[in-house]
Structure 1
Amino acid sequence: MAVEVRDVAPTEPAGPTEPPVPPDVPPVSPRAVLSRALAVPLVLGLVFLLPGVVAALPGPGIRDEAYWLQLVLTGYAGARLAAMTLTVRRRLIQGSFWMFVYVALGVAPLAQAVLGQTPTPVVGTRSDLVLATTLSLIGLVAYDVGVLLARHRPVLRNRAPRRTASVSRRRLYLLVALAFVASALFVVKLGGPAVFFSSRQEISEGIQSSGVAAADSESHVGSAFLRGFGTVPALLAFLFLTRWLVTSRAARRRPLVLLMWVGLLGVNALVNNPISNPRYWFLTVMFSILFTAFPKSPVMYRAALAMGVVAALLLFPFMDRFRYDESGHRPVESESAFDPLVRKDYDQIGMFANTITMVDSGTGHAYGRQLAASTFFFVPRSIWHGKPLDSGVRVGQWMGMQNTNLSSPLWAELWLDFGPVGMTGGFLGLGYLCARADRRYTVRTLDDPRPGNVLAIVIPVVAGYAFILLRGPLLQASGRIGIAMVCLALVTTFRSDPRKLLH
């Protein structure tokens, strides 16, 4: 009797332990592999075509060492972004990292160098700009080295199995209740729903008039807590319910779950819309929802990265329309698609150069004080006398700028605190952690279809929030991180009782 022999694809062992030998994830479906007809134009467009178009723009920019280093950085970032887009395995955090680098540290500064215009004045010498570009490139190489180290991390075969973090059903209901109450308090404090569809300027004025943050105070702890608790619990509760509905047929049959999901959809449309929130936070909202609703779709992952670059270059600068009311609004006038890149948010390389100039002028490195202020963001200045300002404000005040709401990219943050060695080591560790997180997310989302998989929510949120962390300043970004950690701790349990978990 003939016996049919079938090839069985290797799969991951069940349970929380990680596979002992590579490859570290199961085989992927054919849909995950992009055809050569699409892959080749993508690589050529990101690495050569778009930088070449920018470099060919007519402008009075100087073609010196800074220009050529910027061109190399753009090509390097384009190659890495293409690799993230073409990979058969979704790497959410790394993909977000390289998308930010390609746009904010690559194409935009290259356009500024060609056109001879910068959104923020570079007060130092040309050598400081050269050094800033060189250090940015060194940070990217260190990041990739960290990724390689994570890929070749030795496996401990005899280690004890880890307990799996899951979402408690009762605690999730508690988070949903907290989201409704906190968002309702946020709306009431600002004077009603109408203000959320006016402008960000009116939101800030509403927070000032609510008495939570005094207008003459340097501490923004009160306003950060009000904004954070009004927006973060609503987003996280919505993401947990979305995954529950996506992965569980039983949940879709429960009227209570559907009712909560619809209610939180309305709450997020109110408090997390692009009119009342900074654009980077709205990107976080959209990326986290997209990757949570489509956790296994390689098509959606590639579309998010590819369209993210297009949106950042063409649409993102014009979304500043909602920052001010009609009296303070200045329409963006541009003769080409690249003109907004020299007028808006892409001042990261220039601010890094200004940070280097400030340190060299005699202020010196902070040796961890800036990082300590970001870590203990919740301590008000009335208690912590001499608490450092966020790095962007500090550099802006040193420059004599009237508007000190400036960026401070992670490269500048690490340089200001720890110098070149600390910055390189920081990006080495960052690359390692990002690669480990992406790897674990890929394995757990493929092998663990549980609705209560906490990691399936955490990684999409981190991938979206990476834009804010990379742009900086860290002190401004810390508030929502702390609130998100409180919300995650609230719903997470390590018990294995299926009656108390999502199913």
Structure 2
Amino acid sequence: MPGVCVWAVVLVVVLPVLVLRPHHGPVPTALLLQGVVVAHTGGALTRVLTAPRVRLVAFGFWMFSYIWFGLAPLAQLTSDTYPWPYRAGEETSFAAVAVVELGLLAYSAGTALAVRGATTRAARPGALDRLLARRLAPWRVLVLCGLALALAVLLIPGQPGGAVAYFTSRQAINETGALNDSSDSFLQPMRSWSLSVPAFWGLLGLLRLPRLPDGDLLLRGLRRLLLPLLVAVNIVVNNPISKPRFWAGTVLLTLLFNADRLCRPRASRAVAGAVLATVLVVFPYSDYFRYDDRQPVAVVSMAEQFTAKGDYDAFQQVQTGLDYAREKGVSPRSALGPLLFMVPRSVWPDKPHDTGITLAQYAGYDFLNLSAPLWIESFLWAGPAAVALVFCLLGAAGRRMDEARDRLLGRPGTLAVLLVPAFAFYQLIFLRGSLLGIAGPMLLMVTVPLLISRPARQVSELTAPAALSAPVPHASLPHPGGHL
């Protein structure tokens, strides 16, 4: 109970007061409703941080919602200062806060529905439960490691500047052609992500492989040989200098929360609190390596960060999207863009465009690389009904994923233990959007684990909770933890 009170006071009272800016005149209705959003997200995040069971997917969702749609809009609405020049009217601002709260309520409703169905799923596992109960296949993991190393040998030396280019800046990587501005969005990340994703899953698979019941001397030797090589490749291709901060954070936090000691509730909650503090304080400055021409770091208040940096444009993009929808209308057809992202525009000339770019062009910006949060992305498909449906499904799926991880935590090598933390933190990219821009990497991130795992052989592997009293035997590796 003391922990609940402390977190509630910090999240619902102290931090909101710190980001409030001076406001003159009558309080707008949008600001009053924003207080409800802050209380909702802060209260939900408090529950997650103090719950007896670890819920990583819920933590990722409510952390993003609290910072990007709780604190940041609070600072922006009180000061009428936003990261980009576009300005929406008071009516649009109120509607934007209402759309955000609608999504949060739908997410909470989806979570509640999933809790009600937990007993039924325990007796009759669904497709998601069967997927997360899949177990790593040792030799498939080794094949993936070999593929990751082969890709690194083939692609990294061909990069202008070689491996050194990955320690300069994201701008340097962009200019060398590892990423490009091709109109076919599924092509542009392929070279970069074909290095990053297999290397990440190969390392994580090595760290979480269980012992084989009939002995694994050969397998253990191969692990010892491959582990330092995979660590080195990940340092090169998944470091925060040349990769987006959200992805580098996903890699690091997934490895961190796969360490055995940090799977325990008390340790997990402590680390989650540290992650929240780090995202609040350090994240705004972590783009230091984005460009070659680096400016001195100026430490400013959180309120100034929220109102000046484009990293926190999510609420403003919702405002812009609502004005766009009022003028252009909504289009269910635009939902096909992320689903069929691999279809090239040469084959599908009318393929929907990236939502972030569309909104940037509507607002008249020259800089087009903007976010398109899932709230406005789904709103542009079919209005408030789409927002409610999408977030209700997301809440239900997130709760089921957290339940599966909790149930299977003691079973070595299940996808629940590996994939749930990865999705929990990649979720920040997914929520920030836009979907078309992340569809390729997300497909890779989900597909690779399926290829290196096999279905559970018995129903008991899906339903029965694993015993956590005894230590779980993992692969004998020279590194005891699960992080770099």
Q: Write out per-residue CA displacement over residues 300-333 of structure 1, whole angstroms, 9 at most, x where no aligned residue.
A: 321332122222221111111111112xx34453
Classify 1:159/1:325 alpha carbon distance in 2 versus 1 (closer, same or farther; 3 Å): closer
Structure 1 residue 130: deviation in Å?
0.8
Match of 2:99 in 1: 135
Secondary structure of the corresponding residue to residue 232 of structure 1: helix
Cα distance in 2 between the residues matched to 1:330 and 1:377: 36
**Residue 174 (structure 2) pairs with residue 204 (structure 1):** yes
Classify 1:61/1:392 alpha carbon distance in 2 versus 1 (closer, same or farther; 3 Å): farther
* Identity level (%): 30
> Of 159, 165, 177, which residue of structure 1 is paired with 2:146?
177
Amino acid at match of 2:440: G
Structure 1 residue 495: deviation in Å?
6.9
Classify 1:37/1:480 alpha carbon distance in 2 versus 1 (closer, same or farther; 3 Å): same
Tell me whether 431-440 or 108-117 shows the greater mean CA deviation.
108-117
Q: Write out per-residue CA displacement over residues 140-176 of structure 1, whole angstroms, 9 at most, x where no aligned residue.
A: 0111111111111161787589695222111111111
Structure 1 residue 355: deviation in Å?
0.4
Cα distance in 2 between the residues matched to 1:96 and 1:246: 31
Match of 1:237 in 2: 202
Contact 1:244 1:251 in 2 (8 A): no
Q: Write out per-residue CA displacement over residues 193-222 of structure 1, whole angstroms, 9 at most, x where no aligned residue.
A: 1111111001111126xxx84x5x422332
Classify 1:121/1:180 alpha carbon distance in 2 versus 1 (closer, same or farther; 3 Å): same
**Residue 409 (structure 2) pairs with residue 445 (structure 1):** yes
Match of 2:241 in 1: 275
TM-score (norm 1): 0.84
Q: Pairwise CA RMSD of aligned residues?
A: 2.6
> Of 404, 417, 424, which residue of structure 2 is paired with 1:456?
417
Cα distance in 1 between the residues matched to 2:157 and 2:449: 25
Match of 1:254 in 2: 220
Match of 2:428 in 1: 467
Contact 1:189 1:206 in 2 (8 A): no
Structure 1 residue 412: deviation in Å?
0.6
* Aligned 1:394-473 pairs, distance under 5 A: 394-446=358-410, 449-450=411-412, 452-473=413-434
Match of 1:83 in 2: 47
Structure 1 residue 61: deviation in Å?
8.9
Amino acid at match of 2:157: V
Tell me whether 294-303 or 198-207 shows the greater mean CA deviation.
294-303
Contact 2:148 2:199 in 1 (8 A): yes
Q: How many residues align?
A: 451
Amino acid at match of 2:134: A
Match of 1:71 in 2: 35
**Residue 9 (structure 2) pairs with residue 41 (structure 1):** no
Match of 1:311 in 2: 278
Q: Which has the larger radius of gyration?
A: 1
Contact 1:61 1:113 in 2 (8 A): no
Cα distance in 2 between the residues matched to 1:247 and 1:333: 53
TM-score (norm 2): 0.87
Cα distance in 1 between the residues matched to 2:146 and 2:382: 42
Match of 1:219 in 2: 184
Contact 1:60 1:116 in 2 (8 A): no
| More relative contact order, 1 or 2 (CA 8 Å, 6+ apart) | 2
Contact 1:61 1:115 in 2 (8 A): no
Q: Write out per-residue CA displacement over residues 220-250 of structure 1, whole angstroms, 9 at most, x where no aligned residue.
A: 33221112111001111111111227999x7
Structure 1: unaligned runs, 5 residues or longer: 1-35
Q: Write out per-residue CA displacement over residues 25-73 of structure 1, whole angstroms, 9 at most, x where no aligned residue.
A: xxxxxxxxxxx44442122111111112223x44669731111111221
Q: Write out per-residue CA displacement over residues 65-92 of structure 1, whole angstroms, 9 at most, x where no aligned residue.
A: 1111112211210110010000010111
Classify 1:433/1:266 alpha carbon distance in 2 versus 1 (closer, same or farther; 3 Å): same
Contact 2:86 2:363 in 1 (8 A): no
Cα distance in 1 between the residues matched to 2:17 and 2:24: 17
